[in-house]
Amino acid sequence: QLQLQESGPGLVKPSETLSLTCTVSGGSINRNNYYWGWIRQPPGKGLEWIGGIHYSGNTYYNPSLKSRVTISVDTSKSQFSLKLRSVTAADTAVYYCARQLNYPDNWGRGILVTVSS
Amino acid sequence: EVVLTQSPATLSLSPGERATLSCRASQSVTSFLAWYQQKPGQAPRLLIYDASNRANGIPARFSGSGSGTDFTLTISSLEPEDFAVYYCQQRTNWWTFGQGTKVEIK
């Protein structure tokens, strides 16, 4: 059974870079039709798509975040990663990683990242 | 950007009742719309994709309909585990979500 697990710091200082990793187990990250994405949810609020990556390295990003986001993949470790630069308190959220065919059909449990000094 | 507007914000119903949730898009998304269920402290769960197709393992009491700009998620008879927040999401123009409808116990 496919499982995704987010990992990384739960606290990041303003202006610094948020870095998270998603580890995929129970299935291959090298599936031609799938993308691997990041979605976030501020506390008590709705969902926002950040972006995603294909195992080939092809990426797509939310235009509103594109200038601050980099998503990368390491197929040898079955991992993909998120970097969000120059964070502010508005970036405080639960960050989910997910497998996506046309829609995200398999999600990690999420990790709360708080931006605070 | 396609804006999705969900209504109502909150739906108060009793177990066994029928729930009807609406999602309206600011422009046509053809049939490229999905519905998710989210319970507190959990990740969203895909229920319906491409407007009317149930995802794997989703009970038949969940159904989706609509096309273009107007979509509906129907839960034919609410079970206790169905009380949650429901989101719609489109994939025509980038990927955006609605703001959610909370289905609460009356």
Instruction: Write out pLDDT tens, residues B28-83.
Output: 999 999 999 999 999 999 999 999 999 999 999 999 999 999 999 999 999 999 99
Mean pLDDT of B87-105: 94
The residue type found at A87 is V
**pLDDT beyond 90 at B94:** no
d(CA A61, CA A71): 9
Residues of B within 8 A of A108 (CB-CB) are 43
Q: CB A62 to CB B94 under 8 A?
A: yes
Point out which residues pair with B7 in neighbouring strands.
B22
Task: Tell me which residue in B44, B87, B91 faces A107 most closely, judged by beta carbons.
Answer: B44
Both structure tokens of A46: 């709705």
Task: Tell me which residue in B32, B49, B97 faces A46 most closely, judged by beta carbons.
Answer: B97
d(CA A60, CA A53): 7
**pLDDT beyond 80 at B93:** no
Peptide bond before residue A14 is cis, with ω within 30 degrees of 0: no
Task: Tell me which residue in B1, B42, B49 faces A102 most closely, judged by beta carbons.
Answer: B49
Point out which residues pair with A5 in neighbouring strands.
A23
A69, A50 Cβ separation under 8 angstroms: yes
The residue type found at B5 is T
Query: Across all residues in chain A, what is the average pLDDT?
Result: 95
Q: Does A65 touch chain B (CB under 8 A)?
A: no
